[in-house]
Amino acid sequence: MSPGAKPTAGVWTIDPHGVWKSGPIFSHAATTTGSVRIVATAGQVGVDRNGVIIKDPEAQIEQAFQNLHRALEAAGAKVEDVFKLVWYIVNYDHKNRLYRKSLIKFLNGHRPATTAVGVQALAEPDFVFEVEAYAAVRQVQVQKVDVVVVGAGLSGLKAAYDIQRAGFSCIVVEARDRVGGKTWTVNPLGDDKSVDLGAAWINDTNQSYIYSLAKSLSLSMVEQNTAGDVVQEDIGGGLFTFPYGTAPKVSDILDLRIPFLRLT
């Protein structure tokens, strides 16, 4: 169950990590308790995790199915558990079913009962598609292990590794939909320019444990040159230098007219 779940009179409401923030009058998913849980989702639309509506209709539909998959996953359900799927299409055209490609990809061979509904409009003028699901999830017996590790950052993963090597069973629980913790690299602009959001460097002195782990896993490492100046490229493509171990001068940054600091 997602850590965002909240119980209300036998029903758990869920707002999963990685899906846009819901409003005060609904949650993205809800599930009952019991030997077979019934999971219902709110209608999922083509809004990214930052709350931005995808403009391209086909891309918007694909995002809606991605959000639906994440909502089901956060409620402990799989696509195969879905027994009813309903989708709503603005200005439905049976000769041009824009949703078909994303729907087939989402179901991946699963064949639940489905209903397509053509509508004049949805909650926002830019919405062209909305999809909701109902799933039945059979509960399994609680797994018994020697140790529960909370958090799948580097420390948690290493702890689980050492526990297993010592002959004990363990399970790792993680709130996010990924492992790595603060060690996370992203490509925010989609232009193959990566940014580290957390850990970026290690050494054998004050990060000796992680350094030893990297060596034991035979990971390739690139030595960081600490002599001379640092060359930095800003988001607009401008270049400037500053001594290693210091921060660039504010005047240097402003002179480059970086877009998000552009002077008028």
Give the residue extent of every domain in the chain: 6-138, 142-181, 184-224, 225-264
Distance CA 261, CA 93 (A): 46
pLDDT in tens, 142-166: 778 999 999 999 899 999 999 999 9
Q: How far apart are CA 173 and CA 156, in angstroms?
A: 9
Q: How many residues belong to the chain? A: 264
Question: Spelled out in words, what is the top-level CATH class assigned to the domain 6-138?
Answer: alpha beta
Which is more confidently placed, 19 or 32? 19
With H, G, I as helix, E, B as strand and everything else as coil, classify residue 114.
strand
Rank 97-106, 175-184, 208-217 by mean pLDDT and report only the highest: 97-106
Evaluate if residue 238 carries a pLDDT over 50.
yes
- Phi-psi group of 80: left, alpha or beta (phi > 0 → left; psi -120 to 50 → alpha; rest → beta): alpha
Structure tokens at 21: 């923030």
Alpha helices in the chain (DSSP H): 57-74, 100-107, 154-165, 208-216, 250-255
Structure tokens at 205: 């002195």
- pTM for the predicted model, two decimal places: 0.56
Q: Which residues contact 17 (CB under 8 A, 6 or more apart)?
A: 2, 3, 4, 74, 175, 176, 177
Q: Encode pLDDT of 84-135 as tens digits.
A: 999 999 999 999 999 999 999 999 999 998 999 999 999 999 999 999 999 9
pLDDT value for 258: 45
Pairing mode of beta strands 170-173, 147-150: parallel
- pLDDT surpasses 50 at 260: no
Place of tokens 């061979």: 109
How distant is the alpha carbon of residue 134 from its chain centre? 22
CB contact at 8 A, 232 and 239: yes
* Residue-level pLDDT at 227: 82
Q: Are strands 6-8 and 11-14 parallel, antiparallel or unpaired?
A: antiparallel
Q: How far apart are CA 100 and CA 137, in angstroms?
A: 26
